[in-house]
Amino acid sequence: VMGVRDERALQNAAHLGMAMQITNICRDVEEDWGRDRLYIPEELLARYG
């Protein structure tokens, strides 16, 4: 990534990317539900509403 070769930095970048994607999924739950899309496990939805 942009010339970075340090393994720890690459792992941190990957973790940041995953965290950002999870944040987007959480933010868009209501909008996605209105479009008949669900990106979280139904079990969690049933448990926590």
Does pTM top 0.85 for this prediction?
no
In the chain, the percentage of residues whose pLDDT exceeds 90 is: 69
pLDDT-derived band of residue 1, with 50, 70 and 90 as boundaries? Answer: low
Using CB atoms within 10 Å of the CB of residue 49, give its burial: 0 to 12 exposed, 13 to 18 middle, 19+ buried: exposed
Q: Which residue has the higher pLDDT, 44 or 49?
A: 44
